[in-house]
């Protein structure tokens, strides 16, 4: 894309990003941060339900401690998710007003359900979990944890109803109203339950569970590494590994079938995932390394050093035929940013197989009864704790960037959805503002998590006992911390 497409200049000002690029970057950055906190709520839900149920039914202090710690983390994620999610609805109006006008009748219902049904369900019963332990019965307390989880997963459902419709729109017809083509709802069931929804929902929910399992595993591994005799955190580490053992392989199996669905419904996105330009048999690149810097931004197969499986791209796309014809990117007038889709897909898949290996390693240690004693595994879990989010976000980039140039597949181009009154300066300035504010919010969330971990180290008396071990002592923490 020529440079002039990215930059434009307002009179009297230096060059700024074009309204389209700045608006897309702003929304992309906003939803990137929001997804981190939204996935935290979704992924923590099964952990909190289990810890609450075990704590109430067994009166075991280990589970009460874990329930309290992770419910507080959930609360932080809930607050941050709300704060970071609200601006997105405003951005529809300020940056993408034509999208709101064209699709408002279709997306308004699910978004309202998300706000009125899922959000309040989650908020009300999270309050019971945080402040109601001594005020409600054991049964009500456990039920509250379940309803918090239902609210979190339901919230994800309604959001993905909207996004799945944007990927594979159904149940509508285009009519002219006030001189503008808009989508009107003709079949609510078809519009809400699109072909993409089940694939996207299962993949996203499971990705959130994997991300949080790695986070719980990483925090637990750190605390076990500092205090090997901690039964509570050894239990949390074991549970995280067991959940990873189920969820990581499931994601690979489901992702393979999901890829075939994408090839059927969005062949252009599938071609971008493989940088497949010429129509014909498609190979699957297991390893793809650029032979020169230009290949980073234009990853055509001939510019890469690849280790590929011949015909496997065709095999996966067709469900069994290695010689099946796969449409290439050259068939289309305009393509998504292929490099972003191509590399995001490889990062996601590569990390996915890394998680499977980590889960199998942890599972073998559980079988041998040495999970908490293997310092290499504990360190590996610490390092891997943020990688689930990396895989989740790169997968989301494949989904969203791969749909370009369409904001609604086959209905509305992104360039046509941008506000015509938005200037380059306004779009760039608000982009910078959102970047700075959200970086601050992430810093606050990380600081709160750090405080919670340090409090846990105090409870475990690690500060005093670490001096009697070979490990580095934890720095003394002042009252201000």
- Contact predicate 286/308, CB 8 Å: yes
pLDDT of residue 316: 81
Cα distances (Å, whole numbers) of residue 47 to 144, 366, 435: 14, 19, 31
Number of alpha carbons in the 13 Å side-chain half-sphere of residue 201: 20
CA distance 393 to 403: 15
Structure tokens at 82: 């709300």
Q: What is the mean pLDDT of residues 21-27?
A: 92
Cα distances (Å, whole numbers) of residue 188 to 109, 136, 169, 185: 10, 40, 12, 7
* Residue 134: pLDDT over 50: yes
Q: What is the mean pLDDT of residues 90-109?
A: 89
Q: Is the peptide bond before 6 cis (omega within 30 degrees of 0)?
A: no
Tell me what percent of the chain is helix, strand and coil, each rounded to the nearest 5. 70, 10, 20
User: In 3D, which of 327, 277, 325, 283 has the Cα closest to residue 299?
Assistant: 277
DSSP string, 358-419: HHHHHHHHHHHT-GGG-HHHHHHHHHHTTHHHHHHHHHHHHHHHTTTTEEETTTEEHHHHS-
CA distance 188 to 366: 48
Tell me what the pLDDT averaged over the chain comes to. 88
pLDDT of residue 481: 36
Q: What is the pLDDT of residues 401-437, one digit of tens each?
A: 999 999 999 999 999 999 888 888 999 999 999 999 9
Q: How confident is the model at residue 22 (pLDDT cuts 50, 70, 90)?
A: very high
* Residue 480: pLDDT over 70: no
Number of alpha carbons in the 13 Å side-chain half-sphere of residue 32: 19
Q: How confident is the model at residue 472 (pLDDT cuts 50, 70, 90)?
A: low
Query: Which is it for strands 172-177 and 180-185: parallel, antiparallel or unpaired?
Result: antiparallel
pLDDT of residue 2: 43
CA distance 373 to 103: 55
Which residues, in sequence order, are CB contacts of 447 under 8 Å at separation 6+? none
Cα distances (Å, whole numbers) of residue 216 to 14, 235, 347, 369, 374: 46, 11, 22, 20, 17
CA distance 162 to 245: 31
Q: What is the pLDDT of residues 390-403, one digit of tens each?
A: 999 999 999 999 99
Q: What is the pLDDT of residues 203-234, one digit of tens each?
A: 999 999 999 999 999 999 999 999 998 999 99
CA distance 384 to 362: 13
User: In 3D, which of 284, 226, 243 has the Cα closest to residue 260?
Assistant: 284
CA distance 271 to 287: 17
Q: How confident is the model at residue 5 (pLDDT cuts 50, 70, 90)?
A: very low
- Contact predicate 143/156, CB 8 Å: no
Which residues, in sequence order, are CB contacts of 307 under 8 Å at separation 6+? 285, 286, 287, 288
pLDDT of residue 304: 74
Q: What is the pLDDT of residues 240-284, one digit of tens each?
A: 999 999 999 999 999 989 999 999 999 999 999 988 888 988 888
Cβ burial of 244 (10 Å; 0-12, 13-18, 19+) is: buried
pLDDT of residue 464: 58
């Amino acid at each position: 894309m020529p440079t002039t497409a990215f930059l434009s200049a307002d009179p009297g000002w230096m060059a700024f990003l074009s309204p389209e690029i700045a608006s897309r970057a702003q929304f992309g950055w906003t939803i990137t941060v929001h997804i981190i906190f939204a996935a935290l709520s979704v992924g923590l839900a099964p952990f909190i339900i289990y810890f609450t149920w075990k704590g109430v039914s067994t009166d075991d202090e280990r589970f009460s401690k874990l329930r309290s710690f992770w419910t507080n983390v959930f609360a932080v994620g809930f607050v941050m998710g709300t704060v970071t999610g609200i601006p997105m609805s405003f951005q529809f109006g300020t940056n993408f007003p034509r999208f709101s006008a064209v699709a408002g009748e279709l997306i308004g219902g699910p978004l309202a359900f998300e706000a009125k049904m899922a959000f309040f369900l989650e908020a009300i019963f999270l309050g019971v979990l945080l402040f109601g332990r001594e005020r409600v019965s054991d049964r009500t307390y456990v039920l509250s944890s379940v309803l918090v989880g239902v609210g979190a997963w339901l919230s994800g459902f309604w959001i993905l109803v909207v996004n799945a419709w944007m990927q594979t729109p159904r149940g509508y017809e285009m009519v002219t109203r006030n001189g503008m083509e808009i989508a009107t709802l003709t079949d609510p069931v078809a519009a809400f339950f699109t072909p993409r929804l089940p694939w996207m929902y299962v993949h996203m929910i499971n990705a959130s569970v994997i991300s949080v399992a790695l986070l719980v595993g990483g925090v637990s591994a750190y605390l076990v590494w500092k205090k090997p005799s901690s039964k509570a955190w050894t239990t949390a580490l074991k549970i995280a590994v067991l959940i990873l053992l189920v969820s990581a392989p499931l994601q690979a199996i489901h992702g393979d079938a999901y890829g075939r669905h994408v090839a059927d419904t969005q062949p252009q996105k599938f071609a971008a995932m493989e940088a497949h330009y010429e129509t014909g048999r498609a190979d699957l690149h297991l390893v793809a390394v650029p032979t020169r810097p230009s290949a980073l931004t234009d990853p055509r197969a001939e510019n890469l050093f690849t280790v590929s499986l011949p015909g496997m791209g065709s095999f996966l796309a067709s469900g069994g035929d290695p010689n099946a014809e796969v449409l290439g990117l050259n068939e289309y007038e305009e393509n998504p940013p292929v490099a972003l889709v191509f590399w995001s897909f490889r990062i996601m898949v590569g990390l996915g197989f890394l998680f499977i290996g980590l889960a199998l390693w942890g599972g073998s240690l559980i079988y041998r009864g040495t999970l908490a004693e293997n310092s290499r595994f504990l360190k590996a879990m610490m390092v891997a704790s943020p990688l689930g989010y990396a895989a989740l976000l790169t997968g989301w980039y494949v989904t969203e960037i791969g749909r370009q140039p369409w904001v609604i597949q086959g209905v509305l181009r992104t360039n046509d959805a941008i506000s015509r009154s938005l200037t380059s300066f306004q779009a760039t300035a608000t982009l910078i503002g959102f970047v700075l504010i959200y970086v601050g919010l992430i810093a606050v969330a990380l600081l709160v998590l750090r405080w919670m971990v340090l409090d846990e180290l105090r409870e475990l008396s690690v500060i005093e006992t670490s001096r009697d071990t070979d490990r580095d002592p934890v720095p003394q923490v002042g009252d201000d911390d």
